[in-house]
A = this chain, B = another copy of it.
Amino acid sequence: MFVLEQSFKVSYQYQVYFTEHLFDAENALLAQVFRSLVEPGYVARALFVVDEGVWTAHPVLGEQISRYFDTLKDLVVLAPEIIRVPGGEAVKNDRLQVERIVDAVNEYGIDRHSYLVAIGGGAVLDMAGYAAAISHRGVRHIRIPTTVLSQNDSGIGVKNSVNYKGKKNFLGTFVPPVAVINDSAFLQTLEDRDWRSGISEAVKVALIKDIAFFEWLDNQKDALANRAAEPMAHLIIKCADLHLQHIRGGDPFEFGSARPLDFGHWAAHKLEYLTNFELRHGEAVAIGIALDTVYSFLKGFISETDVLRVLNLFTVLGFGLSHEKLWEDDSRHLKAGLAEFREHLGGRLTITLLEALGKGIEVHEMDENLIEKAANYLKTYETSLRLSPSV
């Protein structure tokens, strides 16, 4: 027996930019980004994939993109077609969408020195990022997230994916983008549900990592509920920063088992499926966080005052915190969801709970009776809210 050892490190670096009206002729950011990325001697190509919802809400977007790139022809040439794809989770269930993008990469000669630029919500970025990652073993990918959720969380990280045979994110890779550009102007045209949805990931990361950020969220909850732009800008930068720190501080490609940013997500994933994605990811996450927060209280980790503070924050922000699928049949669905999550993790369960507001703790077992109690606690909480709407 003879052995050769292989070991090496791969370095990744990218910027997450925050701007407004990215494609305005006067906004020099995107030109600068390409100037910093394209190697001397190359003329790169860029293929845009745009979320249909964004396209409809911004009818001049296509024209603006064309005009912007007219001035950059010595550096980067726009593909003759902008690909529009449906927004929302549906785009991740339809394998033909990935194929359309891969075919366009082929047709328009997008090579490993060229760029696939995706504009849209988290689902579109996940799907387009996957297509970019597998084409030519990875063409360069620039993400332009347009929702609160994708700007502060899913769009700035290193994962991409599509669903397969009813399993969420079954196919995907870990491949960092070469740049992320958050344009706050896109947030103005969001539906209320999408504005709100993204806030739950901020609450999540505050609850497990940063009590000061939680206090700030609690102070700003009315302004955020009323769609004030300034606290939202702060929220997104703060949450994005915590998220980026988590990635670089830990195990970016998740080779190990710890995934502490999954707080509240085991139940959320199950709820999304049970409701056929009628619940937005952020809405399901709010319920998942509420459930695991109540569970942390029932387990004796935190006080009921803490629980009620978290539930009140979500309620003021406009989230519903319960759903019949939680308690139906003695919480059968939740128990099944926990078993599936255990399998997803490779047989050994790791769940993040709260040992205090602002401090997560990992556990490897959950008590099914307490899960059922937590679900019923949320049911009672919501019922009491409906009975006394002044709360």
Contact = CB atoms under 8 A, between A and B. Distances in A.
Interface residues of A, number: 69
A171 interface: yes
Interface in A26-48: 29, 39, 41-44
The residue among A6, A19, A114, A133 with the most chain B CB atoms within 10 A of its own CB is: A6
The A contact surface, by secondary structure, is mixed
Interface in A5-27: 5-19
Interface stretch (A50-58, A193-201, A260-268, A344-352): A344-352
A386 interface: no
Interface centre among A15, A137, A138, A172, by most chain B C-beta atoms within 10 angstroms, is A137
A103 B252 CA distance: 27
A149 interface: no
A113 B257 contact: yes
Interface stretch (A79-87, A236-244, A293-301, A313-321): A236-244
Contacts of A134: 134, 171-173
A5 B10 contact: no
A240 B5 CA distance: 11
A339 to B, nearest CB: 12
Contact of A244 (B6, B113, B346): B6
Given A6-B244, A8-B248, A10-B10, 18 more contacts: A1-B17, A4-B240, A5-B16, A6-B248, A7-B13, A7-B14, A9-B9, A39-B257, A42-B346, A102-B170, A102-B171, A112-B345, A135-B171, A137-B159, A137-B172, A138-B253, A173-B173, A173-B175
Interface of A: 1-19, 29, 39, 41-44, 102-103, 106, 109, 111-114, 133-138, 156, 159, 161, 164-165, 167, 169-176, 237, 240-241, 244, 247-248, 252-254, 257, 343-348
